[in-house]
Structure 1
Amino acid sequence: MTTIEDVAQFMRTESLLLVTAESCTAGLIAATLADISGAGKLLDCAFVVYSPEAKKRCLSVSQETLERYNLTSEEVAREMAQGALGGSRANVAVANTGVTDDTDDAIPAGTQCFAWAFEMGGSAAAPRMFSETRRFSGDRTAIREASAQYALARIPYYFSRLA
């Protein structure tokens, strides 16, 4: 597995500046990257948007998307990533939304939806977007930590698919 140090070096090499849009991880993705020396050149800002209202207000997630797909969905994660890019100077966004416990009968505990958005062609070009859903096991803390690590580790993977 890719270490966070490897991800940071990759981001430096590719001149990537990150913004996060975090629900379930509540800032842990940004905090994990911030543990790396020199993180100030890699991380622009982080949006922690736990409630549906915050997702709408801060990141322009639409009510229609929330109603149609549920809070724990790739569609919501994609809108979160798009909104985060629009509210920052970053050229890559990582978004996460999900559940860590049995709060929703229809969604298993540990389900996490992610989106990665890359803005590589200037403001006129639409960001390239990738998303996926994963399920992690363990207690609440273990799920959040695994989610944060996974979100960062996938940056090089999806960046390589831009060409």
Structure 2
Amino acid sequence: MKNMEEVAGFMREHDLMLVTAESCTGGLIAATLADIPGAGKLLDCAFVTYSVQAKQRCLSVSDQTLERYNLTSEEVAREMAQGALGNSRANVAISNTGVTDDVDDDIPAGTQCFAWAFRRHDGDKPGDAVLFSETRRFPGDRTEIRLASAEYALQRIPHYFGLLDAS
């Protein structure tokens, strides 16, 4: 599903409403979906938590997770997704954290960590969510990496939704 219209159609078909928790993408995941007509039925809200403090305050990312795994990690992305789901009426969350520049000797530019959290039923609490995560590395400059990351995050919704029955 390369086309965002197809992703939106899939979301409509499966009654999916999204919340995003974005760091590196700075709101581009939500903005990409918002470009689709009728997005108001698909997008609840977006958290742009660029700073460590915002991730902790808005999404309840723990000090221990940050210290143990690093800011650019699937573990942080997973806590971001769970925190967003807990602060939203959405039933699916996408989070993203990563680096676009060579700012860390240990983490190459373009490294992006994602998480997808699915609430199975309306009564589920955020802790009941089914979580998936992955790390990818995208080529290009800062803008190209951020745009590719946003599109990739949305395109993976059908894939992970399809794995829900197996989990």
Q: For this structure pair, what is the TM-score category when the shorter chain's length is used for normalisation?
A: over 0.9
Cα displacement (A) at 1:2: 2.1
**Counterpart position of 1:156:** 158
For 2:9 and 2:89, the matched residues in 1 are separated by 20
Q: Percent identity?
A: 75
Deviations 1:99-153 (A, max 9, x none): 0010111100000000000001332571000000000000000000000000000
**Counterpart position of 1:112:** 112
* One-letter amino acid of the counterpart of residue 43, structure 1: L
**Counterpart position of 2:36:** 36
**Counterpart position of 1:26:** 26
Deviations 1:30-52 (A, max 9, x none): 00000000000000000000000
Higher deviation after alignment, 108-117 or 121-130? 121-130
* One-letter amino acid of the counterpart of residue 20, structure 1: T
Higher deviation after alignment, 77-86 or 1-10? 1-10
Q: Superposition RMSD on alpha carbons, in Å?
A: 0.9
For 1:146 and 1:71, the matched residues in 2 are separated by 20
* One-letter amino acid of the counterpart of residue 162, structure 1: L
Given the two structures, how large is their TM-score scaled by the length of structure 2? Answer: 0.96
Name the SS of the counterpart of 2:32 in structure 1. Answer: helix
**Counterpart position of 2:149:** 147
Task: Select the residue among 126, 129, 140 that pairs with 1:127.
Answer: 129
Cα displacement (A) at 1:14: 0.1
Given the two structures, how large is their TM-score scaled by the length of structure 1? Answer: 0.98
Higher deviation after alignment, 124-133 or 76-85? 124-133
* One-letter amino acid of the counterpart of residue 148, structure 1: A
For 2:161 and 2:116, the matched residues in 1 are separated by 9
Deviations 1:31-80 (A, max 9, x none): 00000000000000000000000000000000100010000000000000
Name the SS of the counterpart of 1:25 in structure 2. Answer: coil
Higher deviation after alignment, 10-19 or 119-128? 119-128
For 1:56 and 1:129, the matched residues in 2 are separated by 19
**Counterpart position of 2:54:** 54
* One-letter amino acid of the counterpart of residue 123, structure 1: D
Aligned residues: 163
Gap runs ≥5 in structure 2: none
